[in-house]
Amino acid sequence: MIEGLNQEGLKYIDDSGDEQVIPRANLQDGYKYTIEETEKKDHLMMLCIQKWPHLDKMTIELFVDRYLNHKDEMTEEMKNDKEYMKKFKC
């Protein structure tokens, strides 16, 4: 049962009747980058924004962050996507 959103977060009553709070997200809790990584991220953001101007910047940033922090997973997902891989000679 949802009780409501307050300054601490989302207040609700759990199944046992206890009041719980899901804390608000801290936007500063994102990935931490070195100066070099920040420069690389900024460069990738600029290239992606130029290539896909119809996408909002938040969506692009999510993909860039995922690429920078989970490159191997993204590469594996890409290789397993047969439709995407049709674009390339293997």
Number of H helices, E strands in the chain: 4, 3
Nearest CA to 65 out of 33, 36, 27 is that of 33
What's the confidence (pLDDT) of residue 12? 87
Q: Where are the domains of the chain?
A: 1-26, 35-85
Q: What CA–CA distance (Å, rounded) separates 44 from 15?
A: 46
pLDDT at 27: 60
Which residue numbers in the chain have pLDDT < 70?
Answer: 1-3, 26-30, 90
pLDDT value of position 29: 60
The residue among 1, 6, 35 whose CA lies nearest residue 18 is: 1
